[in-house]
Amino acid sequence: MSRIYERLSTAVLEGDADKAKQLTEKGLEQGLGPKDILDNGLVPGMDEVGVRFKRGDMFVPEVLMSADAMSAGLEILKPLLAASGEKLAGKILMGTVKADLHDIGKNLVSMMCEGAGFEIIDLGFNVPPEKFVAAIKQHQPEVVGMSAMLTTTMRAMGHTIKAIEEAGLRDQVKIFVGGAPVDAAFAERIGADGYGSNAPSGVEMAKRFVGMN
């Protein structure tokens, strides 16, 4: 394995965006393929971030720095991957539900999923059900992720899933939910396919949904 892959993983783990960008460019100059750089350098680095975060050895600010480093390399690779026809792991539509303005947790899950090789369509916060429906029609994601941080906005998740069902799109997507007041029992009650208690578990679920693990 190229030494660059190992150094790139380390740059992501250390949250060094400049080094991640430089090493990505160096790898391309040496003739490494963009998909190989992603799969063997950036993704393993972010996978290790997820392991350490789940274990309690890394905290949110450090994870965000690692995500920025991963993004710095990925921005260089994205157009090359698109031009070569290489597919990413899958496409995830993310949003915080209607009337909820909290997005730190949703952003963290999005960044870590992107680090695992997914394409992320981020709808932001305060997203009404009809916007989720329109975005599913437009982007054709395999996975939809919804976040709520307030007990008063949890109900909007159920309303959104119902709207997706009524639009005839439910069989096309796997839906996972998360957020401070949400739990597995609530996710099952509203008809979601899964519940993530933290960002790494969200990534693991997304991988499982597309058959990666």
Q: What is the DSSP string of 149-180?
A: -STTTTHHHHHHHHHHHHTT-GGG-EEEEE-T
pLDDT at 114: 87
Query: Domain 90-209 - what CATH class?
Result: alpha beta
At residue 149, φ and ψ (nearest 5 deg) are -110, -5
Paired tokens of 151: 């007990």
Residue corresponding to tokens 């709520």: 148
CA distances from 168 to 36, 116, 129, 159, 161 (A): 37, 29, 14, 14, 11
Q: Where along the chain do its domains lie? A: 3-84, 90-209
User: Which among 1, 49, 42, 47 is positioned nearest to 24, based on CA atoms?
Assistant: 42
| pLDDT on residue 213 | 65
Low-confidence ranges of the chain (pLDDT < 50): none
DSSP 52-88: HHHHTSS-HHHHHHHHHHHHHHHHHHHHHHHHHT---
pLDDT at 164: 98
Count CA atoms closer than 13 A to 170's CA, side-chain side.
15
The answer to whether 3-84 and 90-209 have equal CATH topology is no
Q: What is the CATH number of domain 3-84?
A: 1.10.1240.10
Strands 143-147 vs 118-122: parallel, antiparallel or unpaired: unpaired
Using CA atoms, how far apart are residues 152 and 142, in angstroms rounded to an integer? Answer: 28
